Structure 1
Amino acid sequence: MTDAPQQTTLAQISYADFEKVEIRVGRITRAEAYPEARKPAYKLWLDFGPEIGEKRSSAQITKHYTPEALVGRQVLAMVNFPARQIGKMISEVLVLGVPDATGEVVLIGPGHDVPLGGKLF
């Protein structure tokens, strides 16, 4: 007899709570190394279209991506978190990803090119 894996009880939120979360599509227009960060990271500039405009972010995504490969890529980011000081820069959005088998970040983005600023639903 084997023990069944324990399932985590997840906190539930209402649909109204979910509607407050602004996860939008942006295109990375510029990426560069961020040597001043405590952990290896890149500085990113993202275009979210005319409604939101350009925002900056710091992302610890150096394992799977180079700055050159990031430019032009569409990604999902949470755009309504408060800005946060990361080293010497202000990070305005949280670029979203999931961990690979070793815990390194893999970015989340649409499978097809979509209009900038589109909201996740």
Structure 2
Amino acid sequence: MMLKNADCTLYLYNKATQGFSRHIINGVYWRENKAGNVLRSGLQTADSTTIYLYSDDVKPLTVAKDMLIRGVCDFEFDNTNQQTISESMRNFKNTYNAVTVMSIDDYMFGNLPHIEISAK
């Protein structure tokens, strides 16, 4: 049985242009883990997000660059040049609560094919 509780928007990093392209992915499972560690220097958060994709039609490819947002987001990056990409990124980060892909595990086989993404 596939768990689905959200749609999400994937922003794929493009190495050639250093810009981002937007992709909507419907029917994903999105789980946020809130955690914190108290260190001598103070509180350090260890929040993470796990997303299950049930298709590999569109999936993250670049760890530490690709970003995800829970829900459908209509923000488009201006990939014209470095400056417009940089300005888009600033606006994007100030407006949306995006998570960055930290690992991609491909389990597209067996009785429950899925791709498990860990993000921060």
**TM score, norm. by length of structure 1:** 0.25
Structure in which a larger fraction of residues adopt strand:
2
Structure exhibiting the larger radius of gyration computed from Cα positions: 1
**TM score, norm. by length of structure 2:** 0.25
